[in-house]
Amino acid sequence: MMSVMMDHRNQTVQEIKNILKRQLTDREWSKVNKILDQHRSANVRTESKESDAEAKKGRKSRVSRPFDFSRYNTRHVALRISYLGWDFHGYVVQEDSENTVEHHLFEALTKTKLVESRSTSNYSRCGRTDVGVSAFGQVIAIDLRTNLLEGQGVIQRAGGTARQRNGTKTEEINYPQVLNRVLPSEIRVLAWAPVEPGFHARFDTLSRTYKYFFPAGDFDIEVMQEASQKLVGTHDFRNFCKMDVANGVVNHVRTVTAATIEELDGISGAYQMFEFTITGMAFLYHQVRCVMAILFLIGQHKEKPEIIDQLLDVERQPCKPQYSMATDFPLVLYECAYSGIQWIYDTAHHERTISQFQEKWTGHIVRATMIKRMLDGLTSVPVITSTHPCTEEENKVDGQSSADNIGDFTAPESDARPTTVRQVTCLSGCLPSKHHRPLLDRPRAESLQNRIEHFAKRRKLDHSIHEESTQCNLEINKVD
């Protein structure tokens, strides 16, 4: 069609040129002919671009043909995922935000045609992390497209044509490599493993380990370590979490198998970094961040280690004192442990993942070092601790007054000492206060029993409203 139009246009232009050539002088014709040739060249370039655009559009429409999932079996696999959660709105998909780890993950899974839909993917996750929280060892289980016809976790598709499909049927898809090509750089699939179809990432977990990173600041690390050991064992942690009765969580008994505070390699003194590690079968909503808030108070000698024993005694302390939990970004879901899983790493791809995180580390450590050097400079110079005009008495030299110096400023000097209070307040989630109010003297939240009764009444009210609305609709239908 395009070529026919171009031929017709060229014929018309040639007829016009013949008429003009007969009517104009040679000099005039030469100028006009040059203009017409330039115009024709411009049209040719435009038509060429339009033709290329149509060709690309045609190629795109061919690529976007529906993918035939019936030509592949599925395989139940576990994926080990790492992500830096600082800039995400949590892990779980939300109605009001697309910037969640789970949203990006399923966007990559559907884009690479590894799943047909979330609803049919038999998906489960080990845990959910909140806004700003990261994970080094999050685990999910899911049915993915597979090249194989049989093997561990392979599910034969009913009515499928996998055996008739061309291509390899013995070499499995490199799931981490395929997904990491389209995932944000802050989210990486580290490894995968075939698992039985009944494997569940949440309910088959043997233990979960969280880590919380913090600087030494002015903390008494030894007393914090002593206090952390009181968490080990089976306890009711209702005073160390945010109650989630609305979602049916009424049992707050959990078992902590280990809790430690260890020094990390790095700068000594107030800038030395530590990590708090806690391991258990399961954790409550915001439990680790609440634990850290209490440990921070103990490390500053604002509370004694015995406060943990008192808060764990829910018979005497049934209501949680009001306090701010520790901030989110230092918290990491470090590891999810399972029995019998053999993780598969691709050597070349694993090295690329390490290189990518090394680049991120370089960017952050350079910035941190620059700030540290700035602090070194600020804390090594003498500072003026007080400034006021000289009086005549202060200005006397050998008992004689010097009129030239009256009114000048005195400036007693003192070496500035590193202020580490801000290291604490930026993690504790509360504003600095000159006077600490003991936890057991503070206002209390509602008791667990009151919360249960509240939501039970609300559900009953919702049920009665639903029944009343249904009856109303029936009566309206009768009238109609």
CA 312 distance to own-chain centroid: 31
Strands (E), 338-391: 382-384, 388-389
Joined tokens for residue 477 = 């239908």
Question: In the structure, how many helices (H) and strands (E) does the chain have?
Answer: 10, 16
> Which sign, positive or negative, has the C-alpha torsion 176, 177, 183, 188?
positive
Q: What are phi and psi of 391, to 5 degrees?
A: -90, 170
**Ramachandran sector of residue 375 (left: φ over 0; alpha: ψ -120 to 50; beta: rest):** alpha
H or E segment and range at residue 209: strand 207-215
> What is the Cα–Cα distance from 426 to 430, expressed in whole angstroms?
8
> What is the Cα–Cα distance from 361 to 253, expressed in whole angstroms?
38
Strands 233-236, 253-263: pairing is: antiparallel
For residue 479, the one-letter residue type is: V
**CB distance 300 to 226 below 8 Å:** no
The DSSP 8-state label assigned to residue 71 in this structure reads G
Q: What are phi and psi of 360, to 5 degrees?
A: -65, -40
**CB distance 415 to 398 below 8 Å:** no
Strands (E), 358-419: 382-384, 388-389, 396-397, 400-401, 409-410, 413-415
> What is the Cα–Cα distance from 93 to 357, expressed in whole angstroms?
25
**């576990």: which residue's tokens?**
78
Establish whether 130 is a catalytic residue: yes
- What does 259-293 look like in DSSP terms, one character per residue? EEEEEPSS--GGG-EEEEEEEES---TTHHHHHHH
Joined tokens for residue 174 = 């490199």
Joined tokens for residue 353 = 């993942």
Active-site entry in 7, 52, 130, 328: 130
Q: What are phi and psi of 156, to 5 degrees?
A: -65, 125
Q: Which of 260, 175, 247 is nearest to 221 (CA)?
A: 260
Q: Which of 204, 57, 182 is nearest to 124 (CA)?
A: 204
How many residues in the chain? 480
Indicate which residues carry an active-site annotation: 130
